[in-house]
């Protein structure tokens, strides 16, 4: 059974048709990278899955249960956590206080403040610091840690590397490596094609609200992905 199943999804921003009749199944334990140019609909898709944006059509199911009409705060308790673009931390609160907020609407499980800091060791010395004083990489680690505190079965990561230095991005992804191998289902939006193809088990390329290429990362070439990214071909499904 798919951990996450999106069928015929349509999402509008006013008159803008941001996601168009999109269907996507994500199996339990997969790491799926969403790539595409700005405006392709990637963030809107993640927000719709998380319950932060209401679809105008189609369905979203988690472990076989239709959650299309379930409010976002209840989806957190069901196992879906979103790390939004821009991180959206409470900057006057400490790292630990931000992390503990993630527990409020979450589920019982293994994630604790200590486990997050073990996963992101760069936070150890910053545990009591206000998040507004952190570096970009430390803020991103805190945002991911806050999501993990809800003990998600599906983790949605939007633009993990946005605005970070290459060194900071390397540190964040190094910390995520164990999580990606742990069986947690991850859907991530990543602009860096090289990094996306390195970390994901499957790659999905979006263009103008639709999927135009998808397949096991090992079966795709950078040329195929680049062609789809810029809209030079029709939708293709590449077998695993």
Q: Where are the domains of the chain?
A: 2-238
Structure tokens at 34: 């969403």
Q: Which of 233, 206, 210 is nearest to 33 (CA)?
A: 206
pTM for the model stands at 0.91
Q: Name the 3-class secondary structure at 105.
A: coil
**124 CB neighbour count, 10 Å cutoff:** 11
pLDDT at position 92, please?
A: 94
Q: Could you tell me the strand order of the sheet in which 65-66 lies?
A: 16-27, 2-13, 57-62, 65-66
pLDDT at position 1, please?
A: 42
pLDDT at position 106, please?
A: 73
pLDDT at position 86, please?
A: 76
- Least confident segment among 52-66, 73-87, 160-174: 160-174
pLDDT at position 227, please?
A: 94
CATH of domain 2-238: 3.40.50.300
């Amino acid at each position: 059974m798919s951990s996450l199943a999106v069928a015929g999804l349509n999402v509008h921003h006013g008159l803008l048709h941001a996601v168009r009749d999109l269907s996507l199944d994500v199996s339990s334990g997969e790491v799926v990278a969403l790539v595409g140019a700005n405006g392709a609909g990637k963030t809107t898709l993640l927000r719709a899955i998380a319950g932060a944006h209401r679809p105008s059509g189609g369905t979203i199911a988690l472990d076989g249960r239709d959650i299309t009409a379930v409010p976002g705060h209840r989806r957190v308790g069901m196992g879906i956590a979103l790390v939004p673009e821009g991180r959206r931390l409470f900057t006057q609160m400490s790292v630990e206080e931000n992390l503990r907020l993630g527990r409020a609407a979450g589920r019982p499980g293994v994630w604790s403040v200590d486990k997050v800091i073990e996963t992101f060791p760069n936070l150890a010395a910053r545990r009591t610091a206000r998040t507004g004083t952190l570096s970009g990489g430390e803020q991103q680690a805190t945002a991911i840690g806050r999501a993990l505190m809800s003990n998600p079965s599906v983790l949605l990561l939007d633009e993990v590397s946005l605005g970070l230095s290459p060194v900071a991005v390397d540190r964040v992804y190094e910390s995520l490596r164990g999580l990606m191998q742990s069986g947690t289902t991850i859907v991530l939006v990543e602009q860096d094609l090289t990094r996306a193809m390195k970390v994901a088990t499957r790659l999905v390329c979006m263009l103008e609200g639709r999927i135009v290429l998808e397949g096991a990362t090992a079966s795709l070439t950078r040329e195929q992905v680049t062609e789809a990214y810029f809209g030079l071909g029709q939708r293709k499904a590449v077998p695993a």
